[in-house]
């Protein structure tokens, strides 16, 4: 008898903080995982955990029935799917692409339409929760796609996340939901940083003030998580400041197209943009506290 291939095969394009954690989780669960990343160190780390590296997105796509894209933005998705040696040209009819970055809904719809021309399905599936939650499968996954595509990839989706939110069949609705969530996350984080900076200006102990806040009406998960790190001086990037700057910009564009005035969102977006201008783009988004401590806008 010939060798029986593992039916649970998946390729990941992008194995940074989130993609790398997702790859390790799938490997631990017995999936056969292929990876491609422009960063050789990231690829090497995934290989050390048992993944197989591929030289191009096209080579990876040719070997896998489903490809999960975990890059930063729509431009990078465009490059890895439709650029030179892009995955789309090598995917077999009936294959599926899972889009995990936070992008605009119009981008999700356009990418899905182009993939459909190749007979390839698409799942609009932005993720949330950070690398630790991606590693243990407790991250949130917001999913929109056609029912047959969802049924075919249910095993993979459940392996990646124990917190799956199926928001419908209209591609782009998962992106819309994620941007609404991230706009609120940005507002909460900007507010938490402002409150802690004010507490310090008043001569209060920041950590003690946060103890009170996280057990009182001012508590937010992102505020507690980020401000604990910022107070400790830990700005090593789990979620880069540049990402919420991008996400708030996309959310405001979406709001504008809907004729909605997101005034609090604009204020939060301005803070993240100021942090990037101040040189904090590559730091953790807890950097907003540092920005305010240093007198930034």
Which of the residues are catalytic? 178
Say how far apart CA 138 and CA 129 lie, in whole Å: 8
Q: Is 139 helix (H, G, I), strand (E, B) or coil?
A: coil
Residues 80 and 71: beta-carbon distance below 8 Å: yes
Residues 145 and 124: beta-carbon distance below 8 Å: yes
SS3 string of 164-225?
Answer: EEEEECCCCHHHHHHHHHHHHHHHHHHHHHHHHHHHHHCCCCHHHHHHHHCCCCCCCHHHHH
Q: Which tokens belong to 258?
A: 């809907």
């Amino acid at each position: 008898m010939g060798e029986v291939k593992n039916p649970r095969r998946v390729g990941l394009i992008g194995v940074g903080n989130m993609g790398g954690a997702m790859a390790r989780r799938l490997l631990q669960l017995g999936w056969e995982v292929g990876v491609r990343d422009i960063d050789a160190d990231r690829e090497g780390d995934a290989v050390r955990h048992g993944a197989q590296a591929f030289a191009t997105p096209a080579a990876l796509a040719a070997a896998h029935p489903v490809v999960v894209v975990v890059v930063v933005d729509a431009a990078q998705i465009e490059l890895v799917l439709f650029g030179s040696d892009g995955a789309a040209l090598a995917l077999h009819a009936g294959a599926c692409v899972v889009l995990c970055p936070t992008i605009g809904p119009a981008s999700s719809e356009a990418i899905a339409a182009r993939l459909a021309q190749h007979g390839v399905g698409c799942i609009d599936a932005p993720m949330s929760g950070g690398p630790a939650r991606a590693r243990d499968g407790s991250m949130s996954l917001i999913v929109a796609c056609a029912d047959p595509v969802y049924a075919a990839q249910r095993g993979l989706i459940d392996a990646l996340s124990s917190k799956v939110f199926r928001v419908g069949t209209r591609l782009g609705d998962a992106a819309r939901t994620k941007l609404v969530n991230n706009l609120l996350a940005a507002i909460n984080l900007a507010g938490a940083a402002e409150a802690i900076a004010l507490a310090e200006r008043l001569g209060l102990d920041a950590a003690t003030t946060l103890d009170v806040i996280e057990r009182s009406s001012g508590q937010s998960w992102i505020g507690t998580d980020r401000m604990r790190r910022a107070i400790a001086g830990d700005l090593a990037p789990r979620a880069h400041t540049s990402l919420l700057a991008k996400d708030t910009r996309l959310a405001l564009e979406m709001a504008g197209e809907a004729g909605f005035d997101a005034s609090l969102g604009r204020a939060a977006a301005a803070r993240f943009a100021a942090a990037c201008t101040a040189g904090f783009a590559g730091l953790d988004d807890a950097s907003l506290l540092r920005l305010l401590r240093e007198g930034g806008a």
